[in-house]
Amino acid sequence: MRKLFSVEGKVVIVTGGSRGLGAMMARSFVENGAKVYISSRNAEMCDARAAELSEYGTCVSLPFNLGGMDGIEGLAAAFAEREPKLDVLINNAGAVWASPIEDYQEKGWDKVLDINVKAVFFLTQKLLPQLRAAATASNPARVINIASANGVVPPPLDSFAYSTSKAGCIMLTRHLAKRLAPENILVNAITPGPFATQMMAATLQEYGDFVRRSNPLRRLGEAEDIAGVAMFLSSRASNYTTGAAIPCDGGMAEF
């Protein structure tokens, strides 16, 4: 029971790990003894974040753009060259596009769906050999998909593709969980609410007070909040949990 939430010795990939929620989760895993690979499309930023996190443990930069199959396959191949097994895959890389309904563009729709849904499926698919190699009945492999509270309740902004993609991510999580459970691979989602990330920066600058006041807990999420849920879903504590979409939103989608 004392090591119920331990992730020590696990091998973890965090996509979108150079900033925002990804960097928060990556740091928590590094500090708790996991070997963490982070990826993002900005190689300079990814390398810098990995160097920063390596002060606390082991973090390796594998920068790839997951907006297309070349980047997805490139990341999977680069990881396979380094590791035979993967304990935890965190599909966190994401994109958002907002504009009035009359002006919403196809390129925005495609960009968001490609990153937020397509990449989640195909990166999981390409890394199945390493996930299967790590998975046992007593210590399952994990896939954690970062969805959003906006995939549960519609947002006030005109981010149509984003909310649709995150709802799709939740159903994809459930479908993958059902398919992969017999192979001891657990698939769960986290549905975060508002955090002080770069993706939320413009919204918070204009509507920050309203966002805080309208949240049942009257605050933004903090690093420990998202990290705690991710570590639970990666540890022995969650061995009997799969197909779940766990809120990390201060209650915004629940009340």
Active site residues: 162
Q: Give just the sign of the alpha carbon dihedral 24, 171, 254, 185.
A: negative
CA nearest to 107, candidates 150, 161, 42: 161
237 burial (CB, 10 Å; 0-12 / 13-18 / 19+) is middle
Structure tokens at 178: 């059902």
Nearest to 146 by CA among 252, 229, 67, 72: 229
| Token pair belonging to 172 | 């994809």
Distance CA 111, CA 174 (A): 23
What is the C-alpha to C-alpha distance for residues 164 and 168, in angstroms, rounded to an integer? 6
